[in-house]
Structure 1
Amino acid sequence: MQQRISFITLAVRDLDASRAFYLDGLGWSAELDVPGEVIMIRAGQHLILSLWRAEEFEAEVGPIVRGVGVPPITLAHNVASPDEVDAVLETAREAGSPDVSAAASRAWGGYTGYFADPDGFRWEIAYNPGEIGLSVLPDQG
């Protein structure tokens, strides 16, 4: 098996709310949009973020464990500067994120903050000045 990820699928309660947040609010565009079922968004050259209606997800994958707290996963979006971190967090706030944390300098040398999508999935917006952080940025040339 090759070391890569092709799809990240999030089971969402309200597909229309997710569409409004990701497409209208964040300004992303769908590669595939099947009303009432799924929205697929290209998130990288070989990566698709799939927002799948929870009922459809459960029918194929199995019951979803629900409870109080934050889903035990974060998705990260790295940027090239601390100012970009603040700008993306403001965009998420304007898009209607139900929870946006202020960015902060981290002990490891970076600067990060978080926002939640309509289902509570947390996105880390990060400036990571280290080699691995810089390696995930799109080419700037």
Structure 2
Amino acid sequence: MDQRISFLTLAVSDLEASRRFYLDGLGWDAEVEVEGDVVMIRAGERLVLSLWDRGHFEAEVGAIAAPAGAIAPFTISHNVASPEEVDAVLETARAAGADPVHAGEHRAWGGYSGYFGDPDGYRWEIAHNPQDIGMSVVPQ
């Protein structure tokens, strides 16, 4: 098996609200949209973020185990080239309706990051990681 991820799929409770947040609010573009079912957004050269209606997700994958209101035990990270860009992206998310939004701060690991929640509470980390691994994922 190749060491790569092709799709990251989020089960969403209100597909239209998620669509508005990601497309209208954050300014991203959908590559595939199936009304009432799924929105697919190219998030990298070989990576697609898929927003899938929760009911359709559960019908195919199985029941979601996390209790309502719990935070999923992972984050999705969007790395940028500077702390100022972290703050700018967090402000864009806030304007798009993200809740909560945790302001950027300097971290013990040497970077600067903050977080926001999408309409289903999935946590996005907006990070400036000046280490080689962090900068390797920032477009030049």
Do they fold alike, i.e. is TM over 0.5?
yes
SS at the partner of 2:43?
strand
Q: Quick one: distance in 2 between partners of 1:69 and 1:18?
A: 18
CA RMSD of aligned residues (A): 0.7
- Give the C-alpha shift of residue 122 in structure 1: 0.2
Deviations 1:33-69 (A, max 9, x none): 1110000000000000000000000111011113142
* Count of residue pairs the alignment pairs up: 139
Q: TM-score, with normalisation over the residues of structure 2?
A: 0.97
Structure 2 distance, partners of 1:96, 1:35, is 22
Q: Secondary structure at the match of 2:126?
A: strand
- Counterpart of 1:89 in structure 2 is 90
Provide runs of 4+ in structure 1 moved above 3 Å: none
Shift of 1:13: 0.1
Q: TM-score when scaled to structure 1? A: 0.97
| Counterpart position of 1:56 | 56
Structure 1 unaligned residues grouped into runs of 5+: none
Q: What CA distance in whole angstroms lies between the structure 2 residues aligned with 1:123 and 1:58?
A: 23
Identity of matched residues, %: 67
* Equivalent position of 2:119 in the other structure: 118
Counterparts of 1:102-117 in structure 2, within 5 Å, are 102-117=103-118
**In structure 1, C-alpha distance between the alignment counterparts of 2:74 and 2:39, rounded to whole Å:** 20
Cα distance in structure 2, aligned partners of 1:44 and 1:97: 22
Structure 2 Cα separation of the partners of residues 134 and 20 of structure 1: 30
**Deviation of 1:99 (Å):** 0.6
Residue segments in structure 2 that go unaligned for 5+ positions in a row = none
SS at match of 1:5: coil
Q: CA deviation at 1:70?
A: 1.1
SS of equivalent to 1:41: strand
Q: Aligned ranges for residues 28-107 of structure 1 at < 5 Å?
A: 28-67=28-67, 68-107=69-108
Q: Distance in 2 between matches of 1:90 and 1:8?
A: 24
Distance 1:136 1:29 in 2: 20
What is the CA-CA distance between 1:92 and the residue it aligns to? 0.2
SS at match of 2:100: coil
